[in-house]
Amino acid sequence: MSRKQKRLAVIVGALGVLALAVALVLVAFSQDIRYFRTPSDLTTQDITSDARFRLGGLVEKGTVVRGAGTQVQFAVTDTIRSVKVVYDGILPDLFREEQGVVTEGRFGPDGTFVADSVLAKHDENYMPKDVADSLKEKGVWQGN
């Protein structure tokens, strides 16, 4: 094997390894994408599919109901439409009505969103950027 052929073999091998690495990264990212929706953005397909995604909006006033143990039911709204959410776990300390929230999970067979994680605001002025942008776009939130 000549020097030129060895160099070409090393370059081709390196490109092959690089292509494999890029392919693995793309596969990993595509499997972990979580789509963000507000209640009025939901479609029938979102509700009937078993896809996981993030549901965000405001915790609707008067809807927080604490059940046995750590089970909590509440509604997430963008003031246009509301979605009932069920969560079994410990809520963040700053979780409360009329504040921004992002839940992650999927819809159950009865049309209730079953969340496995709940993210709440961090301070008095915080609202998740995606939620704030979506609510501002619909003209229902005038925060910063």
68 is in an annotated binding site: no
State the pLDDT at residue 132: 75
**Residue 92 pLDDT level (bands cut at 50, 70, 90):** confident
Instruction: Answer whether 58's CB lies under 8 Å from 75's CB.
Output: no
Could you tell me which residue, 45 or 6, shows the higher pLDDT?
Answer: 6
Q: Which residues contact 83 (CB under 8 A, 6 or more apart)?
A: 39, 42, 55, 57, 75, 76, 77, 113
State the pLDDT at residue 142: 61
Hey, which of 8-17, 54-63, 109-118, 126-135 has the most confident mean pLDDT? Answer: 8-17
Instruction: Answer whether 58's CB lies under 8 Å from 99's CB.
Output: yes
The C-alpha angle 125, 122, 88, rounded to 5 degrees, equals: 130
Q: Is the model's pLDDT at 2 over the cut of 80? A: yes
In a 3-state reduction of DSSP, which class is residue 36?
strand
State the pLDDT at residue 40: 86
Instruction: Answer whether 54's CB lies under 8 Å from 102's CB.
Output: yes
Per-residue pLDDT, averaged over 25-49, amounts to: 77
What is the pTM for the complete model shown? 0.64
| Backbone conformation region of residue 122, classed left if phi is above 0, alpha if psi is from -120 to 50, else beta | alpha
User: Hey, what amino acid is at 115?
Assistant: A
87 is in an annotated binding site: no
Could you tell me which residue, 23 or 51, shows the higher pLDDT?
Answer: 23
| Backbone conformation region of residue 62, classed left if phi is above 0, alpha if psi is from -120 to 50, else beta | left
Label the pairing between strands 53-59 and 35-37. Answer: parallel
Output the CA–CA distances (angstroms, integers) from residue 118 to 42, 74, 85, 89, 105, in the order listed. 18, 11, 10, 9, 9
